Structure formats: structure tokens, C-alpha cells
A and B are shown apart, each in its own frame.
Chain A
Amino acid sequence: MKGRVTAFLATAALLACGLSPVASPQNPAPAQKSATVTRTTAQQSKEGERRFQANCGRCHNAPEAISPREVKAVLQHMRVRAMLSAEDEQLILKFLAP
């Protein structure tokens, strides 16, 4: 009986550790998750800048200021003019309006 109780407690402890959000790298803490998202956004913005230079930047420089309200019309205009792909459009969006 004592052995069964010990086994139950050990299993419960293992499960508790396994479910802990701190220990598992597959389930990062909110702070880690936020850092990962920030890093991903920064990478996308950098890639967006590269695509801007490779496509739009071949003819002109970026406007000095562009608001989120304006960015969709600008990008659709460039999608037609510079034959951007949907992926280019999304990445350049991250660069122009991060």
C-alpha cells in the first residue's frame, strides 16, 4: 500500500513537472514567447527591407513617412507596377509599417 502511494505521488510529481510551463522548451514562458515574436518581426522587417530594395528600390527610394492607413494602397500599387508576389507584399508591409 505504501509502495502504491509512493508510486502515485512520484507519478503526480512527474506529471506536474511535465506540465510546468517553465520547464518545457516546447512551451516557452510569456517573456520568451514575446522575445521570439519580436525577433521574428525584426527578421521579417529586415527581409522586407531587402525585398523593397530588390524591387521598389530599383527605381525610387522609400517615402520618408508612411502611415498604416496608406500602406495597403501603396503596396497594391507596387504589386501591379513592380510585379510583387503576395509574399513580397507581406514582407515589405512589415518593413514599411512594422
Chain B
Amino acid sequence: MSFSKNVFGTLLLFLCSASALFGQSDTPILSGTVQFLGTSNAGANFYQPVIVPILAVPLGDHFFIESRAEIQGFIARDNGTTGPYSGQFIATFDYAQLDYIANSHLTISVGRFLTPFNIYNERYNAPWIKNLPDAAIIFPIGTRTSGSSDGAMVRGVAVARKKFEVNYTAYFSALTNVENLGSGRAAGGRVGIFFPEKGFEIGTSYQRFLQNGELNASGAYLVWQPPRIPLDIRSEFAHSPNGQGYWLESAYRFAKDRRNISGIGRLQAVARIQQYFNGTPQAGDSLPLADTNRFDFGLNYYLPHDVRLNGSYGRQFSSLGNANIWEYGITYRFLFPAWPGGSR
């Protein structure tokens, strides 16, 4: 009798603990994107199937584990514009981090995280979110070596008022040469001020790259979404000894309410201009070897069930050769509980 009581008590304690740790509301989720992208760049055709799964695991109210991987295929002709097609697949971890949400002003993250330089890398460099398929030319500035950092980061909203918020991020990253988990030794941060009623944010970033001669990178950004117009304006400027440049993107959605189901309301037109000015090239900086200007125009169509079609045309001007770049693709965003059970 005493034995069975102990077993029952232990079982009850275990269930209570498990419920507290992984209760109904703490269900992990698997989200992400599946994309197929076709590109014609200066006559060379290639195809990129991409799967970007995100695993998010809440552990109570203060701890959170999140991870994003990227499995990307690259299928192209062996000799550029001629020969048979062959492909290769690359898998990388963009982030795998443990977050401690202390309060509204402070979150501490450890592990692998997206390098917080300006806004493109953290906010827009995901297949479902970015309006144009190609990353900005200046993307490698401030995000060397891989766009991800291995170390620790603090972030939050330092000051929150009704009319404005001051947000910040600071981090340190260690050098890692592990395949698919690489990162550079660097430290840096970002500060921004956001005016919610105006839909306007402006900010600045800094990175000190602590290897290969110790480089400084700095940048600035702005985002403006007028509350009354479905317009989205984003821009970044970045500078490093390797080069500097900017991009300015404008996207117009034909319906103010993004849940609008009318045919034209699902359409989005996007335009982006970029200018890059070459500095002192360095091995592994992933930047163009000459001054480059580029203009892109694209159309995105948001179908029901989180499916998006996109098509874009870009013209690139460079002393190394001008090019027409055509891109088209289909993107699907998914979200479901990471383990079964319970009602939806």
C-alpha cells in the first residue's frame, strides 16, 4: 500500500512538473518556408530549391529556444550556359540560440544568432519576408563571415514611450571554423529609435571585426511605413574599408488590409536601387570587385494558404560586365505544432 502510494505520488509529481514545463501553451512549433527559385543571370540559368525550417520551443515564460536551418540546393549547367545540369546541396544553421527574456528591456541570448548589423540580416533575410529574392549587395558588410555569430547577445527596448521606443542590440562573437557553423571573431551592436504612430524607424550599427587586421564597419538604416498608405520603404547604408554602398527599396501593396482577399489586393509591386563603391578588396569579403549599380523591379502575388508567387527583373551595371537578371519563384510558409496532441 505504501509502495503504491509512493509510486502514485511520484507519478503525480512528474506529471505536474511536466505540465509546468511543457504545458498546453508551451507546445513547440515548427515553422518556416519552402521555396523554389529560378534565375537567369546574364544568360546562365540556375535553380534553387530551398527549405528553411524554424524550431521554436518555449520553456516557461522566460526561457526560449529557437533555431533556423537552411537547406539550399543549387542546380546549374556545368559550363555556365552550356553542358548538362548538375546540382549540389548545402545545409547551414542560421541560428540556434537559447534566450532568457528577463523583462521588456532585456533579453540575453547565447549560442548561434544572426549578426545584428543594420536590419537586412535579422529582419528581412528570410524567404517569406524579403520582397526581392536576391540579398542586397552590401549585405556582407558588418555580417562577416557568415551572417551568423557564435557567442552572446543582449537586446531589448531601453526606453518605451507611447510616441517612441529606443531599441538596442550588443553582441560578442568568437571565431568558429566548424563547417556550416562558421563565424568570425567580432563585437558590435545596433541602436534604433522607432516612432510607432508614424511607422518610422531610424538607426545605426557598428561592428569591430577582431581578426584579419581588425576592421571597422558602420552603417545606418531607416524604415518607413506610413500608417494610412500600404507603402513600405526600407533603406540601408553600410561602410567598411572593403567598400561601401546603399540600397533603397519601396514596396506597395494594392490593399491596405493585408488580409484583403480581392484579386488586386493580393498584389505587391517592389522596386529597389543599389549602389556599391569598391574599396580595398580582401579575400573572403564576399563583395563585388568593382563599383556596381543595380536596379530591380518585382511583383509578388500572395495566394491563399500562405503561398506567394514572385517574379522580378534586375539590371546590373558594372565595369566587369552588365547583366540582366530575371527571377521567378514560388514560396510556401508553414506553421504547425512540433509534436502531436491536443486540439487545434
Contact residues of A with B, CB < 8 Å? 54, 57-64, 66-74, 76-77, 79-81, 83-87
Query: Is B273 on the interface with A (CB-CB < 8 A)?
Result: no
Q: Which residues of B contact A (CB under 8 A)?
A: 24-29, 31, 54, 56-58, 64, 66, 99, 101, 103-104, 107, 109, 122-124, 128-129, 155-157, 160, 165, 167, 196, 199, 223, 225, 232, 258-259, 302, 304-306, 333, 335-337, 342-344
In the complex, what distance in Å separates the CA atom of A61 from the CA atom of B306?
A: 9
CA distance A62 to B305 in the complex (A): 11
User: Given the complex, which residues of B lie within 8 Å of A67, measured CB to CB?
Assistant: 337, 343-344
For the residues of B in contact with A, the DSSP-based class is strand
8 sample A-B contacts, Cβ–Cβ < 8 Å, listed by A number:
A58-B223, A59-B124, A61-B259, A72-B26, A74-B31, A76-B101, A77-B56, A84-B104
Tell me, in angstroms, the Cα distance from A17 to B189 when the chains sit together.
Answer: 66
Partner of A72, one of B58, B103, B232, B336: B58
The 9 closest A-B pairs by CB, nearest first: A85-B104, A67-B344, A61-B258, A73-B29, A73-B56, A69-B27, A72-B25, A54-B196, A76-B64
A59 touches B123 (CB 8 A): yes
Which residues of chain A come closer than 8 Å to B199, judged between CB atoms? 54, 58
Kindly state the separation between the CA atoms of A83 and B54 in the bound complex, as whole angstroms: 18
How far apart are the CA atoms of A73 and B23 in the complex, in Å? 12
Instruction: Report the separation of the CA atoms of residues A20 and B25 in the bound assembly, to the nearest whole angstrom.
Output: 41
Contact A77 B27 (CB under 8 A): no
Which residues of the partner chain B approach A86 to less than 8 Å between Cβ atoms?
A: 103-104
B95 CB → nearest A CB, Å = 10
Determine if B333 and A63 form an interchain contact, defined as CB atoms under 8 angstroms apart. Answer: yes
**CA A38 to CA B234, docked complex, whole Å:** 39
